Amino acid sequence: MKHYTFFLIICLPLSILHTQNHDFNWQYGDYYSLDPSNYNHFAIDFNGEPPAVYPVDRELNMGATMASICDSTGNLLFYTNGIQIANFEHQIMENGDSLNPGSIANANYTQGYTLVQSEVILPMPGNSNLYYLFHLRIDHNNIVGLYRNTLFYSKVDMNANNGRGKMAEKNQVMLDVTDERRFGILTAVKHANGRDWWIWVTEHGLNNYFYFW
């Protein structure tokens, strides 16, 4: 009986995770030409086995930066290329422009942002219509070159515009650092209470971590 109880304790979290299908649709855009309009837009859909890969007719180009979110049943809600946010109809969301403001975003407006593992989308605990996008901005320094120096959050309300969503808050500064200090990659992990989230970002080259709950 003890072994059976232990088995249930181990398997129950896996079952809960299996039903949270928020990452079941990935939007990609493979840039394969010197022509900035020549993108191979496609998606990977994990709602079936094996996952389906298919072309997508959309205007939003994806560079190194990509994040997407689905509802609890695996249906795509919205996605971002680090500069704009598009909804499940592949239309730019209301107020969903000009993320990560600065010269790097301006220079890469057509291609999409250029920073890997810099965007995380999380559902707001207790409200299935609100989502938070956490995102890092990259700037240029004459000495160190490109560096990450600002952590933002933006809030998306999917209850607006008949379920097509809008950006309710945008580019809200969570943490800023000086030219001598840079961020590493951005990630998130579920809290032990099974409801909340920890947001983690490293300090580049150092054993220092910033976290938010």
Is the whole-model pTM more than 0.85? no
Confidence at residue 89, expressed as pLDDT on a 0 to 100 scale: 95
% of the chain surpassing 90 pLDDT:
34
Distance (Å, whole) CA 97 – CA 100: 9
The SS3 call for residue 78 is: strand
Q: How confident is the model at residue 54 (pLDDT cuts 50, 70, 90)?
A: confident
Closest CA to 171 of 183, 185, 156: 156
The string of pLDDT tens digits covering residues 1-34 is: 433 333 333 333 333 334 467 778 888 776 555 5
What is the pLDDT, as a whole number, of residue 15? 33
Mean pLDDT of 108-118: 88
Q: Is a pLDDT exceeding 90 seen at residue 170?
A: yes
Q: Please say whether the beta carbons of 167 and 94 come within 8 A.
A: yes
Length of the chain counted residue by residue: 213
pLDDT of 101 higher than 60: yes
Instruction: Using the predicted structure, report yes or no on whether residue 109 has a pLDDT greater than 60.
Output: yes
- Report the chain's mean pLDDT, rounded to a whole number: 81
Any idea where the domains of the chain sit in the sequence?
A: 2-212
What dihedral angle (degrees, nearest 10) is formed by the CA atoms of 99, 155, 158, 59?
Answer: 10
Question: Which one, of 185, 192, 193, 191, lies nearest residue 210 by Cα?
Answer: 185
